[in-house]
Structure 1
């Protein structure tokens, strides 16, 4: 690739980072944008000038909240323009499809959740997702022709080089290009990412991590995965596989994992494994929701199992914290927000991370629950539509 082409790609990526920050944080000064994005002030000023010229952002003195700077002149801020059109977010879970349509400012106007075996029926899941997007546009009274972009969440890593789902986790998606396939059905650009990355983006912009620029979002559900944000931007790695914490080996002779290795973290702490471990002690069929209820009421068995799981997860997270020094670890997914699991993670980070690193990081449950991924998908669509 030519040097000019590389510079254009870098500039486009930096523009997306700036517009994503404005979309999630609201109006910001250039200095605040530089601090939150990790870019230099000179670079931010150049990007903002270009975005103003192209009509994507505007200058304002309105923060959207009271100014606390005294009686002096309010600072000049940069804000996203309110462009016409709409976006959609599509969350494909292993057993569900959730769709939300929103305006370009991020206000969700209609949303629907449908149960579906997504893993085994790739084409059928995409057909259903496209139909749900159209139905929600109709519900919100939005013209189909005004849809500008779609963000899509998939519950597996996506190889950035091939745009394919990179593992055998979803057998019905072999050799499929998820974003391209949904884009063909809807006739608009579709941008796909994995569930942990979009959960991180959602909690950064709309949840407990607002105002921070370095975080790890860990999703504990049917699998275990992490989304990493550094300098206010998602860190995906060379091939898009950064954050696969669930496949850190915790035992050489452990259970064979769906990735093909043995003893991966998710074979020990993923939700199905924990439910199987608890099942013999209870006279009812346990679900993740029921386990959360029992944890909140102080059930001794549940607290023990979730606490142990949290300490196992926290041991792996402690090493990651030593490497990245994040401000916050956010726990999400069907079991990730359980108080006993959160407490176990905190205990392990305090024990195994370097003391100053442990002291600097907050460990908190996510605020967005099972909507985190679709909120992140909407944010991804807004950022790409504005770039």
Structure 2
């Protein structure tokens, strides 16, 4: 956290949100728009520059190709929200029109078992209204002749509301409009949380600057640091920081059409970036938990793994030049790679908004709406997020999302 610490204006708040990234800001915005809620909201963000936040390291893409109906519906709401951002945010003419650059996601299967997974997922996605289609290797080659499909059995792609969107603009406006509606943001850090004598309720938070702030409810929106926050109330959770490496490169021989966000069977993914440039990502074969401040680049992974895979899958990428590279963190849910959202079953005013495992940005509209609903009304009024509640963690009953990149 940088040295510029800000202190809150009040000594008590109805809701304290720990983490001001896209999840915390989505929650703050939706809370500020609930006409039945007029309480005070404080957002505590440890680094208001967001230099190392997952929000600023995202690929900023969305897809409907998930393996659970609820995740598909969450992304469908996100697509509608992004395309109608101004209307969703009250018709404010300052807000620019946004769209989705729908180049699609292309999942490639090099074995029959994964091909069967793609077929099952397509049926589920189609049943919910997604336009996913499966393609054999010959069909893929006809539509995208730049691919090497010699080892490919099947692919799946959806060209409707799947692709790039401007997540940073949505984040900026959520934060800005929430503050205009009265939500208070401060740069500080929560270092302790105090409960009542029975342990059933949070009473206050303590800031790095020393203030103890009373609160009615607390929302853990701490991204990869989620477990550090939950441990302050004596709760462990299966969320940990995992490194994800990204590169932007230019190609000596650019492709003659948009490149879908291609998920190679190796796990390396690459997509269109525009202007003859492309963005790709991956991680090391061993994928350990890392320190919260470990953003060191592993330069060998590009040379030894990523580039050879790219050049094999897309031979035109045999001559490319890296223009930029960075490391971000997934808030990785080791139980089932799905969100943990909603109230703790025993500490009833402590809420979760964690563990998105790489698909948080595209889920942020539905998650912010959902957490605001249950924090204010004690029930969900739109999508039922109950399957994502913490109970499944306590009971060790995973709801596994298989479509994780």
- Which structure is richer in relative contact order (CA contacts within 8 A, separation 6 or more)? 2
Same fold (TM over 0.5): no
Which is helix-richer, 1 or 2? Answer: 1
Normalization by structure 1: what TM-score? 0.24
Which is strand-richer, 1 or 2? Answer: 2
